[in-house]
């Protein structure tokens, strides 16, 4: 009883005093575990203060458009800016990125094109069938927490100012959902000990990335072709999905009988050396220059990505009789190296490619 009373006081005092922002740190007083999980997620790090790749692209966008995109990019990365109508990063609510109260304060969702379509009410906490008896703060039920709708306003489709589709995780997922019934939370908020994980694991923590693609190798002795088949077996959308910066690259390496490197399908950059081994979306401008940053794009110049359950095969002919071993590996990059260099991003986290899956095979002679 005493515990509940102090809880209520803590909550009610600031709430009744002002219809204001409640920091995630305050939710942590009673939901510590969920807070700790969320704090490691990219939602907590989505802002220009914490994510160097977002910040780099954001500053570039502002500079190139004479400030036009300054208020637009932060709509989903610091969504509280839409509630308080202020974009300054001095504001604590903007510093917290996709914070607790933004999701759990959403009373209505009007559409899926922007976080602006999420209507936030600062004095109630919404979730899926909350237990109102135990809670020291006002709670209310919203069905959309139990399906992908709570994610889609930021993740569905984004078009640039020239009306070109930049990313479309939501529409990719819709096709998958019709076949499987699975929602974003099934994979990105799995239930652990009865509670939904708030780590929102994606590609920044690599556990989901590893083994999301199945790889098969086969060798045809007559044609001397190695056939590699890749299947997106783990994601509910394309691989890669989201921002068009992402790259997935297949590498095939051949060795002689004592392990010397004899051949590889590309050495430095598959964009120039072997496009059939490349999975990404490359945006271009009206003159056909590519890649260009998303805000400058008027067209998609190149697109190959792995759709759920739709295998993709590539064959390479082994011309040398001296090949005894081949090894295929699939790699993920957050962004092409020339972009990281341009933005002066040096953190190993962003620079190092990540291994997704790897397989070797002996070549019979
Ligand atoms: C409609 C909501 C929305 C808007 C508006 C938006 N973004 Fe994003 N952004 C996202 C989402 C969702 C992701 C995560 C997708 C992913 O991981 O690929 C993301 C990811 C990114 C990333 C990758 C960050 C990383 O650490 O890997 C960059 C860079 C980025 N956005 C830049 C921008 C820029 C620049 C603008 C303005 C031109 C912008 N975004 C506007 C929703 C948005
Ligand atoms: C991106 C949106 C989003 C953010 C950000 C978010 N949550 Fe959640 N939260 C959900 C969803 C979806 C569920 C699962 C469905 C439900 O229970 O409503 C959930 C469930 C919960 C629950 C129910 C208990 C359980 O089973 O896990 C609590 C409590 C909760 N969140 C607290 C928080 C706190 C505290 C924060 C910030 C540290 C936070 N949430 C951030 C979307 C979000
Ligand atoms: C003073 C303590 C306290 C604070 C501060 C607090 N909560 Fe709660 N909250 C509770 C308790 C107790 C419950 C009842 C259910 C439980 O035990 O998880 C609850 C229930 C919830 C639920 C419904 C979970 C369910 O399934 O019943 C959500 C969602 C939630 N809180 C989110 C938040 C968010 C977001 C914040 C910060 C904006 C916050 N809470 C701040 C104590 C608190
Ligand atoms: C208010 C906008 C918003 C909402 C709502 C939202 N997200 Fe996000 N999400 C983002 C942004 C912005 C990023 C990119 C952060 C970055 O990389 O800088 C992101 C990134 C992610 C990532 C990638 C993390 C990584 O490590 O690569 C996953 C997974 C994700 N969100 C899942 C979800 C799920 C599941 C929901 C619904 C329960 C959801 N998001 C709701 C804005 C949102
Ligand atoms: C069947 C499981 C599954 C479902 C359902 C699913 N995802 Fe994913 N998601 C994954 C896997 C696996 C990855 C890592 C591979 C990749 O990048 O696609 C991933 C990656 C992501 C990323 C990070 C992409 C990047 O490169 O930065 C985002 C953002 C994301 N998912 C959002 C969503 C959203 C939003 C939904 C619902 C509309 C959703 N996912 C549904 C499994 C799933």
Give ∠ CA 101-103-106 in degrees, rounded to 5. Answer: 90
Alpha-carbon distance 278 to 303, whole Å? 9
Residues near 140 by Cβ (< 8 Å), separated by ≥ 6?
A: 107, 124, 125, 126, 130
User: Considering the chain, what percentage of its residues have pLDDT values greater than 90?
Assistant: 90
pLDDT at 5: 42
pLDDT at 12: 47
> CB-based burial of residue 207 (10 Å sphere; 0-12 exposed, 13-18 middle, 19+ buried)?
exposed
pLDDT for 222 beyond 80: yes
The pLDDT tens digits for 278-301 are 999 999 999 999 999 999 999 999
Rounded to an integer, what is the distance from CA 47 to the centroid of its chain? 14
105 CA: nearest ligand 3 atom: 35
pLDDT at 365: 79
Mean pLDDT confidence for 330-358: 96
The H or E element spanning position 303 is: strand 299-304
pLDDT at 255: 97
37 CA: nearest ligand 2 atom: 38
Nearest CA to ligand 2 atom 43: 103
Alpha-carbon distance 161 to 43, whole Å? 24
The pLDDT tens digits for 137-172 are 999 999 999 999 999 999 999 999 899 999 999 999
Q: Is the pTM of this model over 0.85?
A: yes
The closest ligand to the CA of 188 turns out to be: 4
The pLDDT tens digits for 13-22 are 444 344 799 9
pLDDT at 8: 47
The pLDDT tens digits for 23-81 are 999 999 999 999 999 999 999 999 999 999 999 999 999 999 999 999 999 999 999 99
Q: How confident is the model at residue 9 (pLDDT cuts 50, 70, 90)?
A: very low
Alpha-carbon distance 29 to 279, whole Å? 44
Alpha helices in the chain (DSSP H): 2-17, 24-28, 32-40, 52-64, 70-77, 80-84, 92-95, 100-104, 152-155, 169-180, 184-188, 270-273, 337-342, 348-351
Task: Kindly give the distance from the C-alpha atom of residue 51 to the centroid of ligand 4, in angstroms, as a whole number.
Answer: 13
The closest ligand to the CA of 31 turns out to be: 2
Token pair for residue 260?
A: 């010397």
CB 201 within 8 A of CB 207: yes
């Amino acid at each position: 009883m005493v515990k509940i009373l102090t809880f209520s006081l803590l909550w009610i005092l600031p709430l009744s005093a002002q219809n204001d922002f409640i920091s995630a740190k305050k939710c942590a007083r009673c939901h510590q575990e969920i807070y700790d999980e969320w704090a490691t997620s990219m939602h907590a790090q989505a802002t220009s203060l914490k994510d160097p790749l977002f910040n780099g692209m954001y500053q570039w966008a502002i500079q190139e458009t004479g400030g036009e995109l300054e208020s637009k990019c932060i709509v989903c990365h610091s969504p509280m800016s839409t509630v308080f109508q202020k974009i300054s990063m001095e504001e604590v609510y903007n510093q917290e990125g996709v914070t607790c109260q933004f999701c759990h304060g959403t009373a209505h969702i009007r559409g899926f094109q922007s976080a602006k379509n999420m209507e936030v009410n600062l004095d109630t906490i919404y979730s899926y069938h909350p237990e109102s008896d135990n809670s020291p703060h006002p709670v209310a039920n919203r069905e959309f927490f139990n399906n992908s709708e709570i994610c889609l306003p930021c993740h569905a489709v984004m078009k640039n100012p020239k009306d070109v589709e930049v990313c479309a995780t939501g529409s990719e997922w819709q096709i998958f959902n019709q076949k499987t019934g699975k929602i974003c939370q099934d994979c990105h908020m799995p239930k652990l000990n009865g509670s939904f994980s708030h780590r929102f694991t994606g590609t920044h923590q690599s556990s989901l990335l590893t083994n999301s693609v199945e790889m098969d190798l086969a060798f045809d002795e007559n044609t001397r072709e190695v056939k590699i088949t890749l299947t997106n077996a783990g994601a509910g959308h394309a691989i890669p999905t989201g921002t068009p910066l992402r790259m997935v690259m297949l590498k095939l390496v051949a060795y002689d009988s004592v392990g010397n490197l004899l051949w590889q399908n590309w050495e430095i950059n598959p964009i120039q050396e072997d496009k059939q081994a490349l999975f990404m979306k490359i945006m271009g401008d009206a003159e056909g220059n590519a890649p260009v940053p998303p805000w400058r794009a008027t067209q998609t110049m190149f697109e190959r990505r792995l759709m759920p359950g739709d295998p993709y095969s590539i064959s390479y002919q082994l011309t040398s009789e001296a090949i005894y071993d081949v090894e295929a590996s699939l790699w993920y990059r957050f962004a092409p190296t020339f972009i990281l260099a341009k933005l002066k991003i040096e953190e190993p986290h962003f620079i190092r490619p990540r291994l997704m899956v790897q397989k070797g095979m002996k070549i019979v002679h």
